[in-house]
Amino acid sequence: MTEGRLILTGEEMRRALTRIAHEVVESNKGLDGLTLVGIRRRGVPLARRIADAIASFEDASVPVGALDINLYRDDLTSRPQPLVRPTELPSGIEGKAVVLVDDVLFTGRTIRAALNALMDLGRPRIVQLAVLVDRGHHELPIRADYVGKNVPTSLDEIVEVRVPEVDGVEEVAIVERVKAVST
Amino acid sequence: MQRRRHVLDLDDFSRDEITALLDSADAMRELLSRSIKKAPSLRGKVVLTLFLEPSTRTRVSFEQAGKMLSADVINISGSGSSAEKGESLLNTALTLQAMHADLIVIRSPHSGAPYFLARNLQRMGVVNAGDGRHAHPTQALLDLMTMRHHIGELEGKRVVIVGDVLHSRVARSDVFGLQALGASVVLCGPPTLIPLDLLHGSEGESLPDVNIEHDLDRAIEDADAVIALRIQQERQGAGMLPSMREYTRRWQVTEGRYRRAKPGALLMHPGPMNEGVEIASSLAHGPGSQIEEQVTNGVAVRMALLYQLLTGGQEEAAE
Amino acid sequence: MSSPILITGARIIDPASGSDRTGDLFMRDGVIADAPETAPADALVVDGKGLVAAPGFIDLHTHLREPGFEDRESIETGTAAAAAGGFTTVCAMPNTSPAIDTSAVVDFITHRAREAGPVRVLAFGAVSRGRKGVELTDMEELARAGVVGFTDDGSPVATGLLMEHALLYAGELGLPVMDHCEDHSITAGLGMHEGAVASRLGLAGYPSAAEESLVARDIALLGLTGGHFHVAHVSTAGGVEMVRNAKRRGLHVTAEVTPHHLTMTDEWVLGANGPADGIAASLTLAAYDTRAKVSPPLRSRSDREALIEGLCDGTIDAVATDHAPHTFGDKATPFDEAAVGLSVLETALGSLMGLVRSGAIDLPTLVARLTLGPTSVLGERFANLASLAASTPADVVLFDPEERWTVDVSRFASKGKNTPLAGQTLQGRVRMTIAGGTIAFGEVRQ
């Protein structure tokens, strides 16, 4: 039972990620020096999905890392923060073509934090951004290189990407922000 | 979870809170291993360390923890400070608060000094970096972190704390932390260095559910971890110990005694260690010893703590 | 000369005669007089309905701090506090600066007391010159100047030999030697009872044995020397038992206990009242309450019970406040560094009435321990201070045993605001204190 308005089914999600996988390989002209870095939490399973898709048609594996950006947020003291979790980059990023993967591109602030976090970890050759949903309302000059679906939204809405590893289901939905609850 | 302003002891930490903090400390350890050991999360925060008792290890650990998260860390030592010019601790602290510091880390020879500050400071958080013989919560957290790494979850584990329990703030905080995580604790040491109420019982016991065992050979049987406490040389002068030689003979963790513990048992010491007194030298530098890792974990745990106190870190709050 | 005063319809407790009746009490010319049929025209008439009238309380143990420590208390503020607490006589302790070790200091205190008001100030002289524990003071000179006994309070009489000599010399003068029984070689730290609470808080303890060993020393010496040994602020079950046995043996030993040792325990250091769960609970920010730091320290529950029992059965002769005012700064420190002592005079009755309400002691006995008990320690010449018989001094306290009030230290007459009772509600309050026929505290409600 989907909560909110469904905008991508599980099947549509898989198709979008497969398309992104093809675009990533095409745009980077192969897998050489390519590494996928998911932004915790839901960016990580999405990055794995893209890597799995690449493996299925290229017959080679792409390293997948996990980036925790909580220490780089710009709203640290304005509200309670999630727990810091480890960053894991098994193959490093020095000189690599890094594709950051996140679920939703909204204000761009998470990506800004991710870029700062990434730069503290090394000097990649190039950094690209893949998101499943771009919902607009960017507040920083940041855009995605690969987008699963562009979804016009109002500020009262929340785009929820649900993945089996975290949420038990695979889908994307829009829910209303509950006014009374402060986040 | 109520946002915590102060960390004074572990007696008010739940199992979940300790576990969350240790998880966060694991993440901080990853940051510690990077070539650029710095993240901007505490930029613009001011952390003071007020050490009224010498302690390089703990002070530097806090300082490094703060600086790696980009906080401004200002160190105030007892000597040469206003404290030495007769200004009361209260006035010193109020002055520092008026300078808009966010957090004060205090080490004091007086039990309860951090409670006294926390009671009197409205706008500044207080972290206890060791008060008299009362508590040393961050040392206990790093002990827990080290134990968790090496012997897994602590539920049902047997931990022996040997030495000067009476004067040990580390032992007290360790007991509360270990009990929150479900470990059983055995305290071992000379009768002159164990609190009287624990020896004989009284109208209420100060440390709940601990066992006392004077014979280290028996205490160490099947232990999962052994924490040897620092023995102060001056205890002998105060008539609390016949001699260091006798202490060493009866309460040193030796190779022979260590073999009585579980295979792979962890050996720890809060430092600074008297080489060849609390722990046999060969053991202290042997494979079971995690004394140096304790130091690294100390920084990680303090980073996690500062982050939590200064940003209000919470489970799954803002995704 | 002040007007005559007539208190009407009060419960009048007179420990000297043992009477407890409802009626009128009349005072004129500074003494008690027979109550007239109708009030004289010039008399102040006080409605005593629902109130208790008794001889003014006598405190054997008051730190007035003057001379030398006037930032903590002065004779003027200390006697005002005494009056507010229903005390008409206080005994000043000699740990002043200079100590009360010459007749000149006694004269100074007597003079300042006369300026300050109607509350009677008696003084204890020091046992040793400068309270240094070496040479005896000129005890006879001090006695002639008016001291009522000798003590090095704040410290014990330093050595057994000095105590032996003091008992002999003061005994010959007919005066008691009061000892603050604390074996300094055992007390690692001041102000915290050795026990589970101290251990929980990581504070060095002051074990009961440190008091008991000195009580035992002094009683043994008393058997040798004769004279009169008075135990200051007994705080332990063992101390009470030794006094009981010594009295049985016929030795002239007397003892006092403070209101706080009768009503509080070491758990108060965990925060006012102590947390409900005691030491098993997490410490709160209220822990290490320096206001509950006192010497001897607040003891265990069983000690407290033994003190109450000793007070009821007469082993302990008197309640004495050990009123020990301190400045804000003296107490605004970590526990180890805080000064010892409580400001007690103005809360004594209110806290003691809790014992009456709980049935631990009956009111006439309590009144006796605040009046007759102290005079029995001070000697025959002061017996009339505990009496409401005609022509005894018109020292009278009038209190409401039921009135509930909240302790507001900012309204204390004492400079010492140091009490863990601050903000607490007590039941039982002094309405009026009359000393030598003059109203020292309270207002006339016609």
DSSP for A95-139, written as a single string? T-EEEEEEEEESSSHHHHHHHHHHHHH---SEEEEEEEEE-----
Whether the per-residue pLDDT at C1 is higher than 60: the answer is no
CATH number at residue B228: 3.40.50.1370
Identify whether B6 is part of a domain. no
Q: What's the total number of domains in chain B?
A: 2
- Could you tell me the fold of the domain covering C55-386+408-423? TIM Barrel (3.20.20)
Residue B317 lies in a domain: no
Amino acid at position B115, single letter:
Y
Average pLDDT over residues C174-178: 98
pLDDT above 90: residue B239:
no
- Distances in Å between the alpha carbon of C345 and those of A41, B116, C63, C125? 65, 27, 10, 21
Mean pLDDT for all residues in chain B: 88
Q: What is the pLDDT of residue B56?
A: 87
Question: Would you state the pLDDT for residue C444?
Answer: 64
B120 has a chain C CB within 8 A of its CB? yes
What are the residues whose beta carbons fall under 8 Å from the beta carbon of B226, sequence distance 6 or more? B159, B160, B161, B162, B220, B253, B258, B261, B265, B266, B267, B268
Task: For residues B221-227, give the mean pLDDT.
Answer: 95
Cβ-proximal residues to A38 (8 Å cutoff; 6+ apart), any chain = A44, A45, A46, A47, A48, A64, A65, A66, A67, A101, A102
- Nearest Cβ partner for A81 among B27, B30, B313: B313
Subunit contact A72:B39, Cβ cutoff 8 A: yes
pLDDT 10s digits, C346-379 = 999 999 999 999 999 999 999 999 999 999 999 9
| C335 to chain B: closest CA residue | B112
pLDDT in tens, B5-21: 999 999 999 999 999 99
Same domain, B131 and B141: no
pLDDT of residue C22: 97
CB of C209 within 8 Å of a chain B CB? The answer is no
For residue B145, what pLDDT is reported? 97
The answer to whether residues B318 and A82 touch, using CB atoms and an 8 Å cutoff, is yes
Same domain, B88 and B191: no
Looking at the complex, report in whole angstroms how far the Cα of residue C440 sits from the nearest Cα belonging to chain B: 37
Contacts of residue B120, defined as CB under 8 A and 6 or more positions apart, other chains included, come to: B90, B93, B94, C332
A83–B315: do the CB atoms touch at under 8 Å?
yes
State whether B209 and B113 are in the same domain. no
Tell me phi and psi for residue B86, to 5 degrees: 90, 0
Q: What is the pLDDT of residue B318?
A: 35
**In this predicted model, what pLDDT tens digit does every residue of C194-238 receive, in sequence order?**
998 999 999 988 999 999 999 999 999 999 999 999 999 999 999
Instruction: Look up residue C34 and give its DSSP letter.
Output: P
Binary contact (B134, C202; C-beta < 8 A): yes
The answer to whether chain C touches chain B by having 3 or more C-beta pairs less than 8 angstroms apart is yes
Strand partners, B243: none
In this structure, the answer to whether residues B131 and B148 fall within a common structural domain is no
State how far the Cα of C95 lies from the Cα of B165, in Å rounded to an integer: 38
Predicted confidence at residue B300, as pLDDT, reads: 96
Q: Are residues B106 and B184 in the same domain?
A: no
Which pLDDT score is estimated for B313?
Answer: 46
Q: Is B134 on the interface with C (CB under 8 A)?
A: yes
Tell me if B252 is assigned to some domain.
yes
Q: Are residues B172 and B42 in the same domain?
A: no
Residues of C with a catalytic annotation lie at: 322
Residues B129, B64: Cα–Cα separation, whole Å: 14
CA-based diameter of chain B, in Å? 60
CA–CA dist B106, B95 (Å, integer): 15
Question: Same domain for B104 and B147?
Answer: no
* Domains of chain A (ranges, CATH numbers): 5-176 (3.40.50.2020)
Q: State the residue range of the domain holding B46.
A: 15-135+297-311
B273 inside domain: yes
Q: In chain B, whose CA is at the least distance from the CA of C277?
A: B204
CA of residue B274 relative to chain centroid, distance: 18
Residues B141 and B290 in one domain: yes
Of A73, A80, A120, the CB nearest to B36: A120
Instruction: Confirm or reject contact between B24 and chain A (CB < 8 A).
Output: yes
CB pair distance less than 8 Å for B39 and A82: no
Distance from CA of A26 to the nearest CA of B (A): 32
Residues A102, A111: contact at Cβ < 8 Å? yes
Task: Check CB contact under 8 Å for C196 and B203.
Answer: yes
| Residue C202, Ramachandran bin (φ over 0: left; ψ between -120 and 50: alpha; else beta) | left
Q: Which chains touch B (3 or more CB pairs under 8 A)?
A: A, C
Q: Residue B80 burial (CB < 10 Å; 0-12/13-18/19+)? A: exposed
Res. B48: pLDDT tops 50: yes
C287/B contact by beta carbon, under 8 A: yes
Give the distance from residue A170's alpha carbon to the nearest chain B alpha carbon, in angstroms: 18
pLDDT recorded at residue B152: 94
Same-domain pairing of B173 and B131? no
Question: What percent of chain C is predicted at pLDDT more than 90?
Answer: 91
Q: What is the pLDDT of residue C2?
A: 80
Of the pLDDT bands very low, low, confident and very high (cuts 50, 70, 90), residue A77 is: low
pLDDT digit string, tens, across residues C56-76: 999 999 999 999 999 999 999
- Residue B9 burial class via C-beta count within 10 angstroms: exposed 0-12, middle 13-18, buried 19 and up: buried
AA letter at C311: L
Of B12, B71, B22, B23, give the one whose Cα is nearest residue B47: B71
The pLDDT mean for chain C works out to 95
Contact A71 B39 (CB under 8 A): yes
A84 vs B3, B27, B36: nearest CB? B27
Q: Indicate yes or no: CB of A71 within 8 angstroms of CB of B307.
A: yes
Predicted model pTM: 0.88
Closest CA to C351 of C255, C415, C261, C239: C261
Closest CA to C194 of C211, C217, C181, C179: C211
In C93-250, beta strands by DSSP E: 120-123, 150-151, 177-179, 229-231
Q: What is the ipTM score, two decimals? A: 0.89
Contacts of B134 in chain C (CB under 8 A): 201-203
Question: In angstroms, rounded to a whole number, what is the distance separating the alpha carbons of residues C423 and B79?
Answer: 38
**In chain A, what percentage of residues exceed pLDDT 70?**
91
C200, C287, C302 ranked by CB distance to B206: nearest: C200
CB C110 within 8 A of CB C64: no
Same structural domain for residues B23 and B143?
no
Shortest distance between the Cα of C267 and any Cα of chain B, in A, equals 11
Cβ–Cβ below 8 Å for B132 and C202: yes
Tell me, yes or no, whether B261 lies in a domain. Answer: yes
Residue B33: the pLDDT is 87
Q: Does A183 score more than 70 pLDDT?
A: no
Does the distance separating the beta carbons of A117 and B36 come in below 8 Å? no
Confirm whether B287 is domain-assigned. Answer: yes
